[in-house]
Structures are given as C-alpha cells and as structure tokens.
Structure 1
Amino acid sequence: MSHVPTLSPFARFVKSQAFAGLLLFASALLAFALANSPWRASYEALQHAHLSVSLAGHTLDLTLAHWVNDFFMAVFFLLVGLEIKRELLMGELNNPRRAALAVAAAVGGMLVPAALYALLNRGGPGAGGWGIPMATDVAFALGVLALLGSRIPTGLKIFLTALAIVDDLGAVLVIALFYTSELNLGALGLAGVVWLLALGAARLGVRRLGIYGILGLFLWYFIWRSGLHATIAGVLLALAVPLRRVTPLTQQFRLQESDSELLDAALRDAEDVLELAQSPLHRLEYLLHPYVTYAVLPLFAFMNAGVALTGAGLGRVTLGVVAGLVLGKPLGVLGASWLAVRFGLAHLPEGVNWPLMSGVGLLTGIGFTVSLFVTNLAFADAALLSEAKLGVLAGTLVSAVLGFVWLLRARPPEAPLAQD
C-alpha cells in the first residue's frame, strides 16, 4: 500500500496563512469598495447595527463593529497567545541562540517605526497613534512568500513567522500598557479570580477544553468591564491552557517532554490516538485556526477597512503610518538583525543571505490586522481614524509590492562546490 506523505504542522500553517492572506485582501477590498460606492450608507448602517445578548437578567448590547473588534478579535488574540506560548516553550523561541535573531529583528521593527511616526506627529493631534505601524501581519506576509514558491528558503519563512510572533507579543503589551482607559478595579479583581481558577485548573491537570471555554467567557466579560481592552482576555486564557502531554502514547514510547521531535514523529504514525496524544493547547490551537482564518479575520477586515476617500485627508497621521510601515519596519528589522549577527548574538538562517533578509524586512511593513486594530484604540476622532486607516492600507500595499518585487529578483546564496 502506498504511503501518502502528510504535511508537517509548519507546512500546513504556511499554506493556511497564505490562504488567510487572500481572504483578508478580498474582504478589505470589498469593504473599501462599499465605502466608496452608492451603498456606503448601507455599509455604515451595518457597522452600527446593534446586537443584544441576554443571560440571567443581564443584557450586553453592542454594535456589530464592537462585537467583531471586542469579542471575536479576543478569539484571534487567544490563538496568538497559544502560538506565543508554544513557541516560547517548545518552538523556535525556546532556544535562545535560534530566537536571538527573531527577537532582535522584532524589537528593532517595533521601535524604529514607532519613533519615526512619533517624530512626524510630534505635538500634533495624532501623536497617540505611534503604536499603529509597529505590527506585522503574518498572514499577508506569508501569503506573499507563498506566491514566490520554492525560491524562498524554508529558513526565511520560519524566521518571518518567529519574528511575527514576537511582534504580536509586543503588540499585546503595547495595547495593555498604553491603550487602556480608566480601570474598574472591582471588575479587574474578578477577572483576576477567574484567571487564577483557569491557572489552577491547568495545575490540577484539567484537559477538557469546555472548562477553559466557560472560564474564558467570564474572563472576557470582566476584562471588558474593567477598562482593559477585552482582547487581552484571549492572551491571558492562552497562558493558562496546558501544553504538557500526558497520554498512553507518551508512556508507550517512554518519551520525556524534551523529546518533542520524536514524539511528533510518533504522532504522525499513530493517527488513531492523535486526539488523545495532543496537549489541550495543541487541540485548542488546531480547533481555533480555521475559524480565525476563514471567519474572524475576514470579518474584522470587512468591518474596519472601509475607508471613504471623500473627505479623507492625507495629513501627518497618514504620512507617519506609511513612513513607519514602508521605511521604519525594514530599517528596524535589518538594522537590529545586522547588529545581532555582527556581535555574534545570532546567525542568519541556513540558505539565507542579506538580500533575502532585505526582502523580508520590506514584507514586515505589511501591518494590516493589528495595525487597524490599534488604530481603533488610538483614535476616537473620525478624521484621524480615516487618516490612520488610509495610511495602514497604503503602507501595507506598498510594502507587499516592494517586498514581492525585491524577493523576485533576490538570489539565495550559492551552495559551495563539492571537492573531488
């Protein structure tokens, strides 16, 4: 019987993220077209339509845009948190030597765009939007890499993915620390109690995802009431979901937690016990990924990318966002990477040279999802909001085109000739 090779988890991830990029682009394009069409009023009415949910005498009434940005995006950040935790504990970011390049690049790619934006908007009404050009949208960026096919080394894709995960962690910290309204300490205390319950359940070895789902709903509600942005609940819940595998398969092969590569190989050959063998974190990550990819992110793009060009100015905010994404991101990523390699803290991935790194630096200017998300937190003024969104869309498009063209012309390093 012929054996059909299965894709590795990373290969499946890249393929799904590439498709997510296409969905995001189509959703954003549809929103932009509607906002600049005779149906603009209907599009805006849909954004502001109210939806109420009642439970035990309590009613939660939000607009559709707020349901998407506050609730469904919490699911997105839950997935982000799961990926961050997995990478920190057993992935690329677990090894300090391998993680050094991605961490340095991500930090440089956050600080330089923020500084450039702040410089261009110093003293102006848009000064608070410095966090907008800091993020990289991994779905879009990997989608561009997928269009280039096998000419892109796997090491470059892994580097970009690790960089984007560190980038997401930085974005979560920025949102929590700098884009938070006044705190309701009572609600924050209740959120802390729920989070401790989730951590306690993980400590006791609870593996039923339903338990964490129920606790997550309460956590989201109390975080939402506390003044912190509700999406922070997703990251906090992710930190509580257990990663440890305790299964008959593990005992059968007598593997330690450090033997993750051998265990993963065993799992691929034992599909009948896959569900039991996976940790709750892995199961939840695989469960959420299609919903986030095919529903949450396209819906977010549709609700937030509808910028009407009529009345939208090209002011300092737009200039700051475009400059931060198109110039600041590649300068920060490349500069920090070069310093890390120069001082021996890291080395380039196998099969990767500086021209390829330059192309990836340009692709990191694809901000989109998190950049639009921070835009909504940074500005309440409609004019500034439109300026910033226009900057995000323009900067993302320019970065994608520049990165694609650059990498299309770049050549990987030549393999050394074999000696006779």
Structure 2
Amino acid sequence: MKVTTLFKEFFDSEKSSGIALIACTLASLFLANSTFGDSYQHLFQIKLGSHSIGHWINDGLMTIFFLLIGLELEREIYQGELSNIKNAMLPIFAAVGGIVFPAGLYLLFNYGTLTQSGAGIPMATDIAFALGILSLLGNRVPIMLKIFLTALAVIDDLGAIIIIAIFYTKTLILTNLFIALGIFALLLVFNRLKVRNLIPYLIGGVIMWYFMLNSGIHATITGVLLAFAIPFGNGDKNSTSYILQHFLHKPVAFIILPLFALANTAIVFSGNIQETLAENYSIGILMGLIVGKPLGIFILSFAAVALGFCKLPPGLTWKSIFGVGLLAGIGFTMSIFITLLAFEDEIIINNAKLVILISSLIAGGLGFLVLKQTLKADLLKS
C-alpha cells in the first residue's frame, strides 16, 4: 500500500512527540512536588495581557494543535483511509465505539452526581502517546495498523471537539459566534475563489479565534474550522494545506504539546491515593479508558465487519484491533484538556489528572504487551 511522505512525517513527529511528552510530564511532576512547587505552579498563573500563561497555552497554542489535527483529518478524507467509504467505515465505527462505551461506563458510576460532566474525559485518544507506544514495536507493525490507529485517533479527537462545542459551552454570546462563523464563511469563499496565499487565511483565523473565544464556545474549535477552509487542491507538495501541515509538525510536536504537558501536569501528590482512586469520577475514568475504550473499539469494529459494512484490512487481526483499542485508552492530552472544561473544583481537577496518568499508563502498557505477543505470533505464522 502506498504511504504518503506526509503521513510518514505525521507518524514520526507524533511518536517523537510522545517521548517529549513523557519527559515533560515527569519534569512537571517532579517540580510540582519539589521545594519549587509553589513557584512552578505560579509561573503558569502569571498574566500576559488579559489572560494567564496557562490560559494562552490551553486556549491559544492548543488551537494550533487542533489546526494540525484538522489538516490531517482533511487529508485522510481526500486522500487517505477515509477517502473510500468502504475503508472509512472500520475506523469510523471503531471511533464511535471508543467514544460511546467509555462515556457510558463513566456515567454508570457518575450519573446524577456533581461529577457527571466528566463523561467526556475518557472519550478521546492521545495520538502522540498512542503512536509513540506503537513505534516501540519496530518494523513488525503492519502499515495498515499504523494507518488504522491514526485514522481512529483523528476521528476520535474530532468527536471530542464536537462534544466540547456542544456539551462544554456554558454561556453563549450569539453576536460573537455569528461574527466568527461569518469570518469562516468568508474564508470558504476565498477557498472557492482559489486564493492559495496562506496569509489571508491565517489573519482570518486569528480574528475568528478572537470572536470564538469571546462567544462562549471553546476557542480551539477555530483550529478545525480553519483547517477545512484552507485550500487542499490536489494535495501535492505545492498545495496550501500540505505546506502548512508540513510546517506545523515539529512546532506542535516539540513546543506546543510539551508546553501543554508542563502547564497541566503539575500534580501535587497529597492525600490518600487509595481514597482518590475510590472516588466515583476516578472509577469512571479508569473504567472508561482501560475497559471502555478497547471493548467499544473491538465490539463496534466486529459488528461493522459482521454486518458487511466493511472488511478487515490485510495485515490486521482481531487481536491486533483489541491491542489498538487498548492503546486508544491513552487519554492524556485530550482527557486532561476536557477535565479542565468539565470541573471547577481544583481538588477534583488535580485528582482527575492523576487518575488519567495512571489509566493511560496501564492502558499503554497492556496495549504494548498485547500487540507485542500478537505481532510476534503473526510473524511466526508468516
């Protein structure tokens, strides 16, 4: 199967980003629990203009991360795994299972409580960490498995973005929203007029971000909207979309995501860990990421194939699908991101972040072991 240079770049940057994220998370945890802990946490509360550094990272820089995700999704739709409806059905069904089952398990323990708003936390997959773990298995990983996990994770994140827009919008200022959507419509007109210069889109994107930020809907949605306004053309190296996506890979992987990790994993270890893990929201996150993700992905993938909507691609087995489902249980970036929107109590936010780290570590470890054994067995058979 032909694999584009840009997909290889995306895969390589994401797996490298996973290593950088691990390093930044460990550094952040160490600093937060050291004698410099208060100063370190205060660093992200320093005001730059009207917002804190942490706010600029979460609402500003993360918009660029979502722009990259949007560009990758656009490429998948036009040229990749999602360009053929028959091929697209498997990762789409898998992603839906990976969203619905974890949310259902979380609500099973939290429905009707003050923490039910955290149902979105176990829904999303951290692409960087998941691909990073997969890359540790080396050349034995079939290319279709890499493509399936990437497509699944991108759709997963799109689902999370839609959920953020619908369920995590507390107040809505229609005037600002309509202005933001009007700018988006103008950028689509530029696209139709075949305006290829990036500058009008980037300027329009910044203005759209400002009004979206002040509309009540989370500003990071702007990144995905902008991605679909930027001309794709024929998708070659001279296309506007390709140029921007190629440019964003390294800044996102080695600056934006590490900064997000540093700003949001300053978790202070205090209290009884057993009591923390016994909380309803903790059980919901653990069950959602470790159990709900692999079961949802496996069951809906199996159902899609059994009902004839799609076929299992060459190189994939049901064991490897289950292993990928476990890797998809690595929530980290997106799970922490939604935690910040779902809760207001600092203690609950801190505890939820800790549980996300524990859950992601377990899911990633189990996924690695399952795939290692599965791929080894497949290699021996061949």
**What TM-score do the two structures reach when normalised by structure 1?**
0.86
For 1:29, the equivalent position in structure 2 comes to: 26
The alpha carbon displacement at 1:193 in A equals: 2.0
The aligned runs of 1:20-419 (5 Å cut-off) are 20-52=17-49, 61-245=50-234, 274=237, 278-311=238-271, 313-314=276-277, 315-411=279-375, 413=378
For 1:57, the equivalent position in structure 2 comes to: none
Q: Counterpart of 2:60 in structure 1: which amino acid?
A: F
The alpha carbon displacement at 1:416 in A equals: 8.6
Range that drifts further, 403-412 or 200-209 = 403-412
For 1:55, the equivalent position in structure 2 comes to: none
Which has the greater radius of gyration?
1
The alpha carbon displacement at 1:123 in A equals: 2.2
Q: Quote the Cα distance in structure 2 between the aligned partners of 1:153 and 1:113.
A: 27
Q: Quote the Cα distance in structure 2 between the aligned partners of 1:396 and 1:169.
A: 20
Q: Counterpart of 2:365 in structure 1: which amino acid?
A: V
- 1:24-58, Cα deviation, whole Å (9 max, x unpaired): 11111111111222211011111111111xxxxxx
* Change over 3 Å in CA distance of 1:20–1:416 after alignment to 2: closer
Given that 1:194 and 1:219 are in contact with CA atoms closer than 8 Å, whether structure 2 keeps it comes out as yes
Q: Counterpart of 1:137 in structure 2: which amino acid?
A: D
- Report the 3-state secondary structure (helix = DSSP H, G, I; strand = E; otherwise coil) of the residue aligned with 2:122: helix
The alpha carbon displacement at 1:387 in A equals: 2.1
Given that 1:317 and 1:391 are in contact with CA atoms closer than 8 Å, whether structure 2 keeps it comes out as no
Out of 13, 17, 39, which is 1:16 matched to?
13
Given that 2:9 and 2:249 are in contact with CA atoms closer than 8 Å, whether structure 1 keeps it comes out as no
The alpha carbon displacement at 1:7 in A equals: 8.1
Q: Quote the Cα distance in structure 2 between the aligned partners of 1:162 and 1:217.
A: 28
Q: Quote the Cα distance in structure 2 between the aligned partners of 1:202 and 1:114.
A: 37
Q: Quote the Cα distance in structure 2 between the aligned partners of 1:141 and 1:9.
A: 18
Given that 1:317 and 1:387 are in contact with CA atoms closer than 8 Å, whether structure 2 keeps it comes out as no
Give structure 1 stretches of 5+ with no counterpart. Answer: 1-5, 53-60, 246-259, 265-273
Q: Quote the Cα distance in structure 2 between the aligned partners of 1:283 and 1:181.
A: 36
Give structure 2 stretches of 5+ with no counterpart. Answer: none
The alpha carbon displacement at 1:415 in A equals: 9.3
Q: Quote the Cα distance in structure 2 between the aligned partners of 1:358 and 1:155.
A: 15
* Change over 3 Å in CA distance of 1:381–1:416 after alignment to 2: closer
Given that 1:341 and 1:347 are in contact with CA atoms closer than 8 Å, whether structure 2 keeps it comes out as yes
Q: Quote the Cα distance in structure 1 between the aligned partners of 2:301 and 2:350.
A: 34
Given that 2:286 and 2:359 are in contact with CA atoms closer than 8 Å, whether structure 1 keeps it comes out as yes
- Report the 3-state secondary structure (helix = DSSP H, G, I; strand = E; otherwise coil) of the residue aligned with 1:226: coil
